[in-house]
Structure formats: C-alpha cells, structure tokens
Amino acid sequence: MPEQKQSFLNQLSESAAKGTFVKLTLSKPASKSSEFHNVYARLVEIKGQPHMSFTLRYARRDETKNYLPAEAVKTVSDWLGKDFLQGDLYTTEKDYFIQYNKKREPSLRTATPSHASTPNVGHDKAKKRLITADTANYLHLLGVANADGTIKKEGQKKFKQINKYIEIIDNLLAQQALPPKAHIVDMGSGKGYLTFALYDYLTRKLGLDIEMTGIELRPALVDLCNDIASKCGFEHLRFAAQDIRDYQPGHIDMLIALHACDTATDEAIAKGILSDSAIIVVAPCCHKQIRKEMHGHGDMQAILKHGILEERQAELITDGLRALLMEANGYATKVFEFISTEHTSKNLMITGLRAKPQPEALAKVEAIKQAYGIKRHFLEQLLATPS
C-alpha cells in the first residue's frame, strides 16, 4: 500500500479513536460511467458504541451503512484508489486531502483545520431526516444550507418544514403507489424548496422514474429553479411560467398546490380531480371568496361581526367544503396541521387519495352553504363546468 494512502487511513483511524473526527468525503469516481457518485461519513453512537455512518450516494438513490471504526477504515481502504480518486478527511486538529492522478498514484497534503469542534454524535435519539443537507446541493443553492452541508441558522425552520412535507408524502405513497413514469405537478411552486426536495426524495431515495413540473407565475423564479435543476442534474424536473388556470397538464398522477392563493387552490384541486390524479396534496392560502359571500343567521351574526372570527370561520368552511367536494368526486380525504404555527401561519393541509365517490357528501355541502348563506363554492363551479 502506498505510504500516502496508509498515512491517510492512519489519520482516519486515530481521529475516530481520539474523538477529533469531524467528517469524511470520498469523491471523483474512478469511472465516468459509475452510478456511485460519492460517499459522506460521520461519527455516530449506536447502542452506546461509536460507529461511522456512511451515506452512499448513487445516481437515483442514497444508501446508509454503519460500521464500527475498524470496519470503516477497511471499507474506505477498499474504495480509495479503486472507486474514488479523492478523499477529504476533516478533523479538529488538521485536514487531510488525498488525491490520485491518472496513473493512480496518490498524493497527500494537509491543511489547518476548518472545523473547531466535532458534531453531535447522537444517533439513537436523533430525529430521522428523509432529506439531509449534506447530499442535497439544491439546499445550498437555495440558501438553506452552507456549502459544507450544514443548515444555516435562518434555514432551520424551512429545513424542518421540508422534512415534514416529505414525511407526509412518504406516508401517502405507502397507501397509494405511483405508476411507472408518473407525472407530478406542483402548482404554485414558488422558489421550489419543496419541489426540489420531493423530486430528490422520489428519484434518489426511492429510485422512482418520474416526470415533475413546477408551475409558477413569476418568470424570475422559474428561471432560477430551472437553473438549479440543471446544476443538480435533475433531468426530469422542469419549471414553467404560467398561471394555474391556464395550465393544461394532460394526465396528472400527483397534484400538489402549497399556498396557492384563494381560488387558485380550487383551480389546482379541480385540475387534479378532472385529470384523475391518484394523489392530491394542497395547503390552502387565503379564503376570500367564501368570506365575501358568507353571512350567519340569527345568533351566528353576533359571532361573525368580529373580523378575526369571521376570517377563521371562512377558512374552516372553505376548506371543509373542499374536502367534501373531493370526497363526492372520489377521494378519501384528511385535513390536518401541516407544520406548527411557530413556523408558518399557513398550516392546514388537505390530502386526497383516489377512492370510491361519495355522492352523499353533496347533500352536506348544500346544508353548509344554506346555513351560512353561501351561493356557491368556486370549486363546485370548476367541477361543473370544466375548461
């Protein structure tokens, strides 16, 4: 074994033993056609014993493997110079960089430490994240994470929201699988935080073959997102500058609309229903249409005269009617809190999975409308007169 490689492995072993290890990355695949892109390793504690946790990043998925320190060093030795031509070891004492040339000859250099402290090695009690910043370059490009894969202080809330969102989608997929080459549409994708995370999770973590489209009205955001998708190698993710009402999707297998304003949520739901989408996920924003029409009878007027109570009641009625109309049109629905209000004031989510239509739900819709003096719900109109 070349002395440079042996020295690198010795430092890896010693840093793990002394508690100075920060992280390890292996990169520059030896073969251009390799599906094995890179490796990221960190120290964790499992059942009271130190382990090295490896994230193996492939083209369409990630794998996590945990090794005891001695096994970890042997595994790195097997990869280094064969599968990967570069290794970066970061410790609190010094940084080590090994690189192989075209003749597979290694060179080793050192640098002053770029990390003053080691990360928390807790594992058993650590929150499981379906999206991790160290393998998600889009989080850095979107300003949520630093270049080294750590989450910025100001990005913590967004990162938590992203992972909660992916957990919800993962649970829905456990109940309703997507067909091959599924088409997913995110209507009102904004800056694309959740769009990128979902595409990343479905393609790399689950290995699904999908096409995904983000619809956003603001051209500047569309250009930004398409640029990031290109930089991340997300070949089947694209963004289009279009109004939701004008978008003609063809077939949709999963419809998403998070915080589309007022009746734009209804436009999105209608397109999902009329496209026979298997899954619908919406987080409504604004409820102006129903609030303008709503008025209470009798004692209810004494409550609705207060603006804040009228606003909240309008939200409940609007989203309750949306869920009922989805049920009437063949969806099993759930309405729940998306993320706690300390992270965002827009915290309600409605999900729908394709199921047997429940026509009796229409009678409930009519009863609620009559109770509050509502002539029609915009979603009703869209479903009655599809464009």
Query: Please, which residues have CB within 8 angstroms of residue 214's CB and are 6 or more apart in sequence?
Result: 185, 186, 189, 192, 195, 222, 225, 237, 238, 239, 240
- Closest by Cα among 192, 336, 322, 321 to 268: 322
Q: CA-CA distance, 228 to 250, in Å (whole number)?
A: 25
Is residue 222 within 8 Å of 216, Cβ to Cβ?
yes
Instruction: Kindly indicate the confidence band of residue 115, based on its pLDDT and cuts at 50, 70 and 90.
Output: confident
- Closest by Cα among 128, 134, 166 to 151: 134
Kindly state the DSSP code that residue 203 receives in the 8-state scheme. Answer: I
Give the pairing type, strands 182-187 and 254-261.
parallel
pLDDT at 343 over 70: no
Instruction: Kindly indicate the confidence band of residue 344, based on its pLDDT and cuts at 50, 70 and 90.
Output: very low
Q: CA-CA distance, 370 to 381, in Å (whole number)?
A: 17
Instruction: Name the residue with higher pLDDT: 269 or 126.
Output: 269
- Closest by Cα among 171, 145, 164, 126 to 353: 171
Q: How many CB atoms lie within 10 A of CB 248?
A: 8
Q: What is the pLDDT of residue 342?
A: 41
Q: Cite the DSSP H helix spans in the chain.
A: 3-18, 69-79, 137-141, 156-175, 193-200, 219-231, 264-274, 288-293, 300-304, 307-328, 361-371, 378-384
**Angle made by CA atoms 231, 235, 238, in degrees to the nearest 5:** 85
- Closest by Cα among 326, 319, 314, 316 to 362: 326
| Domain spans of the chain, in order of start | 3-126, 154-384
SS3 per residue for 102-164: CCCCEEEEEECCCCCCCCCCECCCCCCCCCCHHHCHHHHHCCCECCCCCECHHHHHHHHHHHH
Q: Please name the helix (run of DSSP H) or strand (run of DSSP E) that holds residue 262, with its range, or none.
A: none
Count Cβ atoms within 10 A of the Cβ of residue 378 and give its class: 0-12 exposed, 13-18 middle, 19 or more buried. Answer: buried
What's the rounded mean pLDDT across residues 80-93?
93
Length of the chain: 387
Query: Does the predicted model carry a pTM greater than 0.85?
Result: no
The token pair at 150 is 């750590």
pLDDT at 340 over 90: no
Weakest-pLDDT range from 6-20, 119-133, 152-166, 188-202: 119-133
Q: What is the pLDDT of residue 215?
A: 96
- 232-288 pLDDT tens trace: 999 999 999 999 989 988 899 999 998 777 688 999 999 999 999 999 999 987 667
Is residue 182 within 8 Å of 133, Cβ to Cβ?
no
> In one letter, which amino acid is 231?
K
Instruction: Kindly indicate the confidence band of residue 196, based on its pLDDT and cuts at 50, 70 and 90.
Output: very high
Write down the residue that tokens 């042996």 correspond to. Answer: 6
Q: Per CATH, the architecture of 154-384 is what?
A: 3-Layer(aba) Sandwich (3.40)
Q: What is the pLDDT of residue 341?
A: 41
Instruction: Kindly indicate the confidence band of residue 337, based on its pLDDT and cuts at 50, 70 and 90.
Output: confident
Is residue 160 within 8 Å of 98, Cβ to Cβ?
no
Most confident of 257-261, 311-315, 351-355: 351-355
> In one letter, which amino acid is 306?
H
Is residue 210 within 8 Å of 236, Cβ to Cβ?
yes
For residue 239, what are the β-bridge partners? Answer: 214
Q: What is the pLDDT of residue 299?
A: 63
pLDDT at 15 over 90: yes
How does DSSP assign 52-121, residue by residue? EEEEEEESS-EEEEEE-HHHHHHHHHHHBTTTEEEEEEEESS-EEEEEE-TT--EEEEEE--S-SSPPP-
Q: What is the pLDDT of residue 124?
A: 45
Is residue 30 within 8 Å of 82, Cβ to Cβ?
yes
pLDDT at 336 over 90: no
Q: What is the pLDDT of residue 307?
A: 72
Give the pairing type, strands 348-354 and 279-285.
antiparallel
Q: What is the pLDDT of residue 348?
A: 86
- Closest by Cα among 260, 208, 265 to 237: 208
- Closest by Cα among 349, 293, 359, 350 to 323: 350
pLDDT at 60 over 90: no
Q: What is the pLDDT of residue 127?
A: 57
The token pair at 250 is 């063809």
